Amino acid sequence: MSPFRRSNSGDVARERLRVVLMQDRISLAPHLMERMKEDLVDVISRYVDVDRGKIEVQWRRADGEPALVANIPVRSVKRSVASNDRASERVL
């Protein structure tokens, strides 16, 4: 292998493909994305009061890696969170 080569194009191809396929597969199943959003909100709502209508979940690229980025506006934190251990046990 030549020492002057920057980076092997085969590796570049593999990485690009990995990201593209992830995005393809998700975009082909938009209902899954919706369901995941609902589930996320359900879990988070046990602890904080969130604004369901304003939730955004998107694919982004962070340092070349695909990442799920969620923006969930919080209205208020529930008072019961700190004291109610049972609730957190149920969640776990």
Partner 1 sequence: MGQSLVITSGKGGVGKTTATANIGAALAMLNQKVVLVDADIGLRNLDVVMGLENRIVYDLVDVVEGFCKLKQALIKDKRVEGLYLLPAAQTRDKTAVTPEQMKNLVGQLKEEFDYVIVDCPAGIEQGFRNAVAGADRAIVITTPDVSSVRDADRVIGLLESSGFERPVLIVNRIKPKMVDRGDMMDIGDILDVLAIELIGVVPEDESILVSTNRGEPAVFDGSSRAGQAFRNIARRLRGEEVPFMNLAEVQGLWGRLRKLVGLE
Q: How far is CA 77 from CA 17, 41, 54, 82, in A?
A: 41, 14, 17, 10
Interface with partner 1, residue 65, by CB under 8 A: no
> What is the DSSP-derived secondary structure letter of residue 52?
G
Query: Site for partner 1 (CB under 8 A): how many residues?
Result: 16
Q: Which two tokens stand for residue 13?
A: 């191809």
Selected from 3, 10, 53, 64, the binder of partner 1 by CB under 8 A is: 10
CA contacts within 13 A on the Cβ side of 12: 5
Indicate whether 31 belongs to the interface with partner 1 (CB under 8 A): no
**Tokens 């082909």 — which residue?**
28
Choose the binding region for partner 1 from 1-9, 32-40, 51-59, 65-73 (rule: CB under 8 A).
1-9
Contact with partner 1 (CB under 8 A) among 1, 62, 91, 92: 1
Point out which residues bind partner 1 (CB under 8 A): 1, 5, 8-11, 13-14, 16-18, 20-21, 24-25, 28
